[in-house]
Amino acid sequence: MQKKLHIKKGDTVIVVAGNDKGRQGKVLEVIRDKSRAIVEGVNMIKKHTKPNAENPQGGIVEKEAPIHISNLMQADPKTGERTRIGRKLDSNGKLVRYSKKSGEEIK
């Protein structure tokens, strides 16, 4: 069974706990079964790689590691502060997410 998460790919989020607390970034990928997300520029790790066709030199590559969803909060589209998310019906009868802080719709 898939978990219902408050964060989707493409959302702008703020890290609320951990080494990267206070940093902001865009969600690149959501791993639903592990409740984790990969956020641009957050939780960077150094990975040692062997030479291959893509990287003929090999060496040390810096990349983003997954971070638990509970350590992330949605960024308000208007102010950029962290906010909770609500769901409501729009004029077309479609469910949309909105920021509880500013009331702004989240695309």
Residues 88 and 67 in one domain: no
Looking at the structure of the chain, the number of domains it has is 2
- The tokens describing 29, both together, are 């990928």
Residues 65 and 105 in one domain: no
Residues 70 and 83 in one domain: no
Give me the DSSP letters along 19-42.
TTTT-EEEEEEEEGGGTEEEETTS
Provide the residue range defining the domain that includes 25. 1-51+58-75
Residue 2 confidence (pLDDT): 72
Residues 65 and 100 in one domain: no
What pairs with residue 37 in β-bridges?
30, 67
Residues 82 and 32 in one domain: no
pTM of the model: 0.84
Residues 20 and 70 in one domain: yes
Residue 1: band (very low, low, confident or very high) from pLDDT cuts 50, 70, 90: low
What pairs with residue 67 in β-bridges?
37
CATH number at residue 35: 2.30.30.30
Residues 93 and 47 in one domain: no
Check pLDDT > 70 for residue 67.
yes
Residues 12 and 64 in one domain: yes
The residue-averaged pLDDT of 35-48 equals: 96
